[in-house]
Amino acid sequence: MSDSNFVDYVKVFCASGNGGAGSKHFMRTRTNAHGGPDGGDGGRGGHVILRGNSQFWTLLHLKFTKHIKAGHGGAGSKQLMHGANGTDVIIEVPLGTIARDAETDAFDCEITEDGQSHILVPGGRGGLGNDHFKTPTRQAPKFAQPGEPGLEAWKILELKLLADVGLVGFPNAGKSTLLSVISAAKPQIANYPFTTLVPNLGIVKCHGQHSFIMADIPGIIEGAHEGKGLGLRFLRHIERNSLLLFMVPVDSRDIRKEYQILLHELEQYNPELLDKTRCLAITKSDLADEEIIRELKTDLPTISYVFISAHKKTGLEKLKELLWEKLNEGFKE
């Protein structure tokens, strides 16, 4: 999928339907010219509903849909007939979508499961017919309730990718190359910063029938939490990953320092990210000989690590074993 087709943020105007008015009808038949009230209730206004769809992975289909309006409820009628409910509008969204109010920034909902639905903007209630207002002392009420008006609001839909493993590293750390080698994903790869402008997902097979999802997040730079580089636009995707794989090239001036800078950026963006399981992959290890690698091992961060080369395809099985083990640590008896 091309870069322009990946959309993870949209702002839409949502309007639910008005409720239908209750009826003020009185029963009139050939044998009963003065029957009692028999006005039915008005129908409910249509809702604007979010629903998760696992077949979507971007909000592209909403990019040019700025106004979403549900149908109005029908009016009640004679013989206690209920008005038709307004037509609901269902917005299909990918899993991992969050909805917020555009004016107050208040959290509305989070869609994480296929088929999960949430009423984003409820329709107005239908008005009660005059049959509800009859009493022993008021047997012929000539009034009924009007329907409630629908609601209008600007909503922000924001996608945070759901993946098991998120790749974290500076530009040109080899994230896209790794994803292209150990999965069927085909991200754009080139030897210059910010080649990856959108997140990419790949399915990594492990132990035969088992697999996990890996996400290649566009490169982070120092100051990303303040909006530098690609900034906050993609940091949010890391929030949904179960495990973070930090990637630092073997030819980095200081692997430990580079790891700490990356960690600091995540902490400044969201301190809860530090609670996630972390692993370290030292990439491009084919550029270093065994003696240099032994020296580097003496000053690495105190987390699980592995030296890999996506170009030479070395260390990849060990990396997959490490990631699979870490992903399943919480499920061991």
Residues 147 and 182 in one domain: no
Phi-psi region of 278 (alpha: psi -120 to 50; beta: other; left: phi over 0): beta
Residue with tokens 């972390």, as numbered in its chain: 278
* Angle of helix 175-182 versus helix 316-327 axis, rounded to 10: 90
Are residues 282 and 169 part of one domain? yes
Higher pLDDT, 270 or 333: 270
- Residue 99, domain CATH: 2.70.210.12
Which CATH number does the domain housing residue 274 bear?
Answer: 3.40.50.300
**Amino acid 87: pLDDT:** 97
pLDDT over 90 (residue 24): yes
Who's near 54: CB < 8 A, 6+ residues apart?
94, 95, 114
Range of the domain at 279: 163-331
Mean pLDDT over the full length of the chain: 84
Total number of domains in the chain: 2
Q: What is the pLDDT of residue 186?
A: 60
Last residue of a domain, one of 159, 175, 194: 159
User: pLDDT value at position 47?
Assistant: 97
Shared-domain flag, residues 199 and 142: no
Q: Do 125 and 208 belong to one domain?
A: no
Q: What type of residue sits at position 278?
A: R
Read off the pLDDT of each residue in 128-154 and give the average, rounded to a whole number. Answer: 92
Query: Which of 192-201, 203-212, 213-222, 311-320 tops mean pLDDT?
Result: 311-320
Would the pLDDT of 195 be above 50?
Answer: no
Q: How far apart are CA 298 and CA 291, in angstroms?
A: 12
Which of 159, 182, 215 is a domain's end point? 159
Residue ending a domain, choose from 102, 125, 159: 159
- pLDDT mean over 121-144: 92
Q: 35 and 176 share a domain?
A: no
- Which residue has 């209008």 as its token pair? 152
pLDDT of residue 331: 43
Structure confidence at residue 163 as a pLDDT band (50, 70, 90): confident
Average pLDDT over residues 209-229: 66
Does position 89 have pLDDT exceeding 80, yes or no? yes
Higher pLDDT: 282 or 227? It is 282
